[in-house]
Amino acid sequence: MQVLTTIQELKDFKKSLIHQDTLGLVPTMGALHKGHQSLMQKSIQQNTHTIVSIFVNPTQFGPTEDFNKYPRTLEKDCEICQKLGVSAVFAPQITEMYQKEDEITLNPPKSMGYVFEGFVRENHFNGVLQVVLKLFNLIQPHFAYFGQKDAQQLLILKRLVQDMFLPLTIIPCETIRDADGLALSSRNIYLSEEERTIALEIPKALQKMETLFKQGCNSSKELIAQAKTCISHVELDYFTITDYNLHITSTPKHNEAIALIAGKVGKTRLLDNLWF
């Protein structure tokens, strides 16, 4: 496995590929866990080569967010990638990815990018779009793998591909959870033991919602009210049900809706969702 840190090294790696090879890209911010690994495994299964990018992207963090303290474990991450059979890791410095002070930026659709996560985290999706478009242009993958865990990000990136006619396909990957139900996240390490127990209110609420939906309840109001009975200590930012355009829906339908939940436990923000 090659570890590439410059754009030139990336270009040389690309040159070494054969015309009929397919290339899968798994963009990450590192601190790799089993959730990331499931994306990597899917890409490895489906492509001749898989490249994993590891880059803690400054432009998607707000000024008061955890950019500086975000976990950085490159050596361990590379070992994981190598063991799984990744062809290359692309782990550039910030100055390699952002070469100018004042760069062109991208805005998400107003109706998708400034609600929920985009409301709580100002300009978060502008930064996500900027870095992902850079990665797509540099790496030119045939397929790019993103987790359903970050539902709003996934839906906005699908729009990036559609709206900009990008020649690649986004592959959504299901959320991987710990045995207790908590969705894996690089930020879970911030949780104390007590906070982790509180955090479990989130998957419990979503599980209750799923059970009720499967039993025939299709009123968002009722589903949210019932699910909220599981939440007593998590400080909710939002808990809502939308369609795939992120429009709030009163009657979720199978394969057409998602419940989005986010909240704080202590200082840690947690994000989860249910795809109906």
CA-CA distance, 38 to 35, in Å (whole number)?
5
Task: Give me 49's structure tokens.
Answer: 């080569």
The secondary structure of the chain, three-state, reads CEEECCHHHHHHHHHCCCCCCCEEEEEECCCCCHHHHHHHHHHHHHCCEEEEEECCCHHHCCCCCCCCCCCCCHHHHHHHHHHHCCCEEECCCHHHHCCCCCCCCCCCCHHHHCCCHHHHCCCHHHHHHHHHHHHHHHHCCCEEEEECCCHHHHHHHHHHHHHCCCCCEEEEECCCECCCCCECCHHHHHCCHHHHHHHCHHHHHHHHHHHHHHCCCCCHHHHHHHHHCCCCCCEEEEEEEEECCCCECCCCCCCCEEEEEEEEECCEEEEEEEEC
Binding of ligand AMP by 149 (CB under 6 A): yes
Binding of ligand AMP by 50 (CB under 6 A): no
Q: Is 254 a catalytic residue?
A: no
Report the relative pairing of strands 235-243 and 257-265 from DSSP bridges.
antiparallel
Binding of ligand AMP by 150 (CB under 6 A): yes
Minimum CB distance to ligand AMP, residue 201 (Å)? 17
Of 31 and 220, which CB lies nearer to ligand AMP in the complex structure?
Answer: 31
Quick note: the x/- pattern for ligand AMP over 250-269, rule CB under 6 A, is --------------------
Minimum CB distance to ligand AMP, residue 154 (Å)? 7
36, 124, 142, 247: the active-site residue = 36
Is 69 annotated as a binding-site member? no
Is 149 annotated as a binding-site member? yes
Minimum CB distance to ligand AMP, residue 16 (Å)? 26
Is 34 annotated as a binding-site member? yes
Window 170 to 189, contacts with ligand AMP (CB under 6 A) = 173, 175-176, 183-186
Binding of ligand AMP by 39 (CB under 6 A): yes
* Longest Cα separation, the chain: 56
Minimum CB distance to ligand AMP, residue 56 (Å)? 9
Binding of ligand AMP by 134 (CB under 6 A): no
Window 1 to 20, contacts with ligand AMP (CB under 6 A) = none
Of 72 and 217, which CB lies nearer to ligand AMP in the complex structure?
Answer: 72
Minimum CB distance to ligand AMP, residue 2 (Å)? 20
Residues within the interface to ligand AMP (CB under 6 A): 28-29, 35-36, 38-39, 146-147, 149-150, 173, 175-176, 183-186
Residues making up the binding site: 29-36, 60, 147-150, 153, 176, 184-187
Would you name the residues annotated as active-site residues?
A: 36
